[in-house]
Structure 1
Amino acid sequence: MPVQDQTARRLAAVMALLVAVCGLAVTTSPATAAPRLLAAPGDSGDDGEGGSKSLIEQLEDASSGFIKAKAALKKSKEQQAALTAELKRLDSQIGPQQDVLDEIAQQAYTSGRLGAMSALVTASSADSFMDRAETLATVAAQQNAAIADLKTTREKQQRAKLAIEATIRDQQKQVNVMAKRKAQAETALKKANQGQDASSSSDGGGSASADPAPSGSGNGCTESDPTTSGCLTPRTLHALKQAQSDGFTRFTRCFREQNSGEHPKGRACDFSAEKGTFGGDATGADKTYGNNLANYFINNADELSVLYVIWYRRIWLPSSGWKSYSGAGGDPSSDHTNHVHLSVD
């Protein structure tokens, strides 16, 4: 075989070996390997909220009822405070009004029953008669006005007292509703072998204050979801924008089709602990980010109408605080160890 052919064959063999070695290095090197992307919540066919349809519906119903009762309780207490202030104002008017009426009554007693008639009979002229008649009429009008004022104030006083009593009864009613909803949520968790008391996050972050949702904002899925091609309720969109404006800007997905839960209603969002994807169990700075975000939603639960927050095998309910909560799949998505789930009323 010619030397040139042998050289060419040897060069080709060396090149093939180099290619094989390089290929092996590319596929095994950690520095260049493609990141392992785990399934996003809901992508594996479940509903991505870690519980059965029945459990999720019970938690939704219980938390929604608790939130409404809590809001009604707050409003009733505000009404009671306003009524109490009004009653105090009326009480302060009773004394002076009674003093005026007592003074008029004393004058009438001093002059006697015939005082008015005597004053008219002893008038020295027609003009004097008219002056005295006008004076007597004025005194009588003042007396009638004083009696009317006192009567009106006492009636208002009584109505205020009755209204205060009604608000107190209403408050007790709302407290009872809140207790019932709390028991409903905890019973549902217990039946699902969930819901043991769980410690709160050891991280104290997420203390920024969110603006309340606009008054009268509805809960229909009417707004475009900026994270998907779906829709969100005005309150959910508000919560998402508030979190983002306060620095929680990592990868998020909200609307998705599923059989239960708030996602298909546009009332829930999943916030990844990692920057670019739903990965494995969050650790280090990623877990701190999730802690801070969960705390942010909890600290602003009233302003954002939070139904519940799920994070790191726990669920936070407005009625009960943190409870243990693990998904049936045992993976980072169903256990919520790679993302914070937010549901909004």
Structure 2
Amino acid sequence: MLTAPTRHVPRVLMLLLASLLLGVAAFPDPAAAEPGEDGGQNLTVRQALDKALGEYNDAKGRLDKSTADQAAIEAELGTTQTRLTELEAAAGTVAAAAYRGRRVSLFNVVVGSDNPNELLHDMSTIEYMVSRDDQALRELAETRRKLEQQKADIAAAVANQQAQLKIMEANKKTAEDALKKAGGGGATTGAPSGGKVTTNPVGRNSDGSYAKQGCSEKDPTTGNCISPRMLNAYNEARRAGYTHYTSCYRSGGGGDHPLGKACDFSANAKTFVNARATGADQQYGDALAAWCVANAKNLGVKYVIWYKRIWQPSSGWKSYGGDGTPAGDHYNHVHLSMQ
């Protein structure tokens, strides 16, 4: 009886196939380590958070500018008040002299003088005295007007500050509500701290708010585009020693990446690793996040996310919801969003 020949798979080939299958199970898709954009409800929450913190930052900038203006006006007001006191005393002397008849009129000099030389001298003296006294009185009036204007400017500054504080409080609440909807916003411990300020302040509008910026500069990480403030923050981070793998512009989604206003700084030096950062990589992420916070005002930072925590200028470090993955929970990278 004839039988079909048995096909024997070489042992080496079987071992190779087994190792490949094991490798697929042991090493997940590297794309899973890449940070992504939030979708669905999280996208709406992120947009609300972005808007609230942007408005908070602008209101805080206007508050700081108004407070500085008020301090400068108050310093000038003290000088104005001192000068006004001096001028009022001098004006009193002029008035007293006029009351006692010491300010002789030009008519009396002309009528009562027989000597042409004396007449000319007396006329010159009277002209000087009248000019001097009139100038003193004009300066007195101008100083009084200046003092009243400075008081009005201070009152306006105080009213502006109260308005900005209300805006800040409202947007702080909106940001906190958004975080809670995303499963975060709670108290957290062990947040990064101790970062050093190594940057200079970026430019602002005349009222202290941040100028609107678009995706106008070349992104050094992807070749696409980022905003001027994002590029400045990226370069400043490099200068401060934070040179691990970084990715900024990313199309799609509704966060700051497609606007060129966010960068993801990997904790690993070479790439995004699909695992929670530990050891030196975690220390690197902690130091970078602390640096971002310390330089937030100078750079125009909107928020920082790292290791399942989020820092906001309105309320500091809070817990972050995430999605249960190393990338989604920001265990493998520091996310920096700019104004």
Same fold per TM (> 0.5)? Answer: yes
Q: Which residue of 2 aligns with 1:334?
A: 328
Q: Which string of whole-angstrom CA distances, capped at 9 and with x for unpartnered residues, describes residues 113-146 of structure 1?
A: 8776554443231332232223223222222111
Per-residue deviation, 1:47: 1.1
Structure number with greater Rg is 1
Q: Which residue of 2 aligns with 1:321?
A: 316
Pair 1:84 & 2:74 matched: yes
Q: State how far apart, in whole Å, the 2-side matches of 1:115 and 1:227 are.
A: 84
**RMSD between aligned alpha carbons?**
2.8
Q: TM-score, normalised by structure 2?
A: 0.86
Q: Which string of whole-angstrom CA distances, capped at 9 and with x for unpartnered residues, describes residues 242-300 of structure 1?
A: 11111111111110112210000000011111111211101111111111111111111
Pair 1:227 & 2:216 matched: no
Q: State how far apart, in whole Å, the 2-side matches of 1:322 and 1:204 are.
A: 10
Residue of structure 2 aligned with 1:247, choices 241, 250, 256: 241
Q: Which residue of 1 aligns with 2:269?
A: 275
Alignment CA distance shift 1:79-1:37 (3 Å): same
Map 1:7-46 onto structure 2 (within 5 A).
37=30, 39-42=32-35
Q: State how far apart, in whole Å, the 2-side matches of 1:309 and 1:114 are.
A: 78
Q: Which string of whole-angstrom CA distances, capped at 9 and with x for unpartnered residues, describes residues 173-208 of structure 1?
A: 11111111101101122233321122252x545324
Q: What letter is aligned with 1:307? A: K
Alignment CA distance shift 1:87-1:50 (3 Å): farther
Q: State how far apart, in whole Å, the 1-side matches of 2:65 and 2:104 are.
A: 57
The percent of aligned pairs where both chains have the same amino acid is: 38
Contact 2:194/2:290 (<8 A) preserved: yes
Alignment CA distance shift 1:264-1:115 (3 Å): closer
SS at match of 1:169: helix
Map 1:113-192 onto structure 2 (within 5 A).
118-192=108-182
Per-residue deviation, 1:105: 2.0
Q: Which residue of 1 aligns with 2:7?
A: none
SS at match of 2:82: helix
User: What stretches of structure 1 of length at least 5 have no aligned partner?
Assistant: 1-15
Alignment CA distance shift 1:307-1:114 (3 Å): closer
Q: State how far apart, in whole Å, the 2-side matches of 1:133 and 1:299 are.
A: 71
Q: TM-score, normalised by structure 1?
A: 0.84
Residue of structure 2 aligned with 1:211, choices 178, 182, 200: 200
Q: What letter is aligned with 1:306? A: V
Q: Which residue of 2 aligns with 1:111?
A: 101
Alignment CA distance shift 1:105-1:211 (3 Å): closer
Residue of structure 1 aligned with 2:57, choices 28, 49, 67: 67
Q: What letter is aligned with 1:107? A: A
Q: What letter is aligned with 2:152? A: L
Contact 2:249/2:263 (<8 A) preserved: yes
Q: State how far apart, in whole Å, the 2-side matches of 1:168 and 1:314 are.
A: 35
Alignment CA distance shift 1:73-1:315 (3 Å): same
Per-residue deviation, 1:311: 0.8
Per-residue deviation, 1:41: 3.4
Map 1:301-320 onto structure 2 (within 5 A).
301-320=296-315
User: What stretches of structure 2 of length at least 5 have no aligned partner?
Assistant: 1-9, 206-210
Q: What letter is aligned with 1:236? A: M
Per-residue deviation, 1:50: 11
Q: Which string of whole-angstrom CA distances, capped at 9 and with x for unpartnered residues, describes residues 20-52 of structure 1?
A: 79969987999xx9897352434xxx5159971
Per-residue deviation, 1:111: 2.8
SS at match of 1:249: coil
Q: State how far apart, in whole Å, the 2-side matches of 1:270 and 1:41 are.
A: 9
Contact 1:83/1:164 (<8 A) preserved: yes
Alignment CA distance shift 1:35-1:60 (3 Å): closer
SS at match of 1:39: helix
SS at match of 2:331: coil
Q: What letter is aligned with 1:63? A: L
Q: What letter is aligned with 1:180? A: A
Moved over 4 A (4+): 19-30, 33-36, 48-51, 112-120, 214-218
